[in-house]
Amino acid sequence: MLRKSLQSANPYLSMVKFSHTIFAMPFALIGFFLAIGSNPEDINLKLLGLIILCMVFARNAAMAFNRFADKEIDLKNPRTSIREIPAGIIKPRSALLFTIINALLFMVTTWFINPLTFKLSPVALFVVLGYSLTKKYTALCHFILGVGLALAPIGAFISVTGKFELLPLIYSMVVFTWVSGFDIIYALQDQEFDRDEKLKSIPVLIGKRKALTLSTILHLLTALLVILAGIKGSQGSLYWIGALLFISLLFYQHLLVKHDDLSKVNLAFFTTNGIASVLFALFTIMDLLF
């Protein structure tokens, strides 16, 4: 029975790229432990579980809606035609239903956290779902994705404290510039297709070479914000080890990808950024706790 359930769930996990939760989840955990401070005995496991569930439900809804909204585009693009909806593995109606269920579960979960988190939940959904429509209208779509993922640290912080503060907002800015930068790199591989289909992206707007330059600038800002967060939070040596690793991997991806050689985009996008976020979160949380 369990095996059958896992097999039936697998196409949906694949559709939403569940493994890619690794990008924003570590920063949500940073926001949580930032609110807890240096008092491990104050950790509320129930609240932590609710925050993790919020992250999973919101991302599931966002990715499923993205696949639903892009179903015709994905069918035309040779790179994406094997995705679950164009390949006929999941029906568009089922993907939309999956989106609605996860969006509702997200809002219900925020109800059990605190009133402010619940009130802000429709705003969060508007951003993460709305991103899927932006590529048809604006090259700023990469930055809107950055805003969506940047909600992770400040959202987790609010879930614990019920208020805004500057330091978690700096971490959100870290996520915003980081994600916007690496999404521009990812979009390089579809430049020709997007141009032919009248879709908007930074590579289409300014070309591959300038897009890579803009991505580098964004990641320079990311590095400066990581340093600012460390100074503002009076972080210790563990934080700075994590910061060095994060920044090093941040710029390592720019050595992997060239405007005339995109063969290592997936390595840069998935592997490098995934490892960077996990290591940064691990060292930051250890520094906060110990």
In angstroms, the Cα distances linking 226 to 2, 185, 248 are 43, 21, 12
In 3-state terms the chain splits into helix, strand, coil percentages (rounded to 5) of: 80, 0, 20
**Mean pLDDT along residues 267-278:** 84
Q: Which of 14-18, 91-95, 187-191 has the lowest mean pLDDT?
A: 14-18
Q: How confident is the model at residue 259 (pLDDT cuts 50, 70, 90)?
A: confident
How big is the chain, counted in residues? 290
pLDDT of residue 153: 95
**Token duo for residue 280:** 């940064």
> HEC profile for 177-242?
HHHHHHHHHHHHHHHHHHHHCCCCCHHHHHCHHHHHHHHHHHHHHHHHHHHHHHHHCCCCHHHHHH
Question: What pLDDT, on a 0 to 100 scale, did the predictor assign at position 19?
Answer: 61
Q: Where are the domains of the chain?
A: 19-289
Query: What was the pLDDT predicted at 4?
Result: 44
In tens, the pLDDT along 38-80 reads 666 778 899 999 999 999 999 999 999 999 999 999 999 998 8
CA-to-CA distance for 281 and 290, rounded, in angstroms? 14
Residue found under tokens 């993790």? 52
Is the pLDDT score of 6 beyond 80?
no
Report which of 27, 23, 28, 35 is spatially closest to residue 233, judged by C-alpha positions.
35
CA distance 100 to 108: 12
Strand-pair partners of 137 = none
Interval 92-120 mean pLDDT: 95
Strand blocks (E) in 25-149? none
Residue 80 φ then ψ, to 5°: -115, 0
Give pLDDT, residue 1: 44
CA–CA separation, 50 vs 109, rounded Å? 6
For residue 269, give the DSSP letter.
I
Which class is domain 19-289? mainly alpha
| pLDDT score of 3 more than 70 | no
Residue keyed to tokens 């070309």? 207
pLDDT at position 290, please? 84
Lowest-confidence region among 150-159, 178-187, 265-274: 265-274
- State the pTM of this model: 0.91
Average pLDDT over residues 169-197: 94
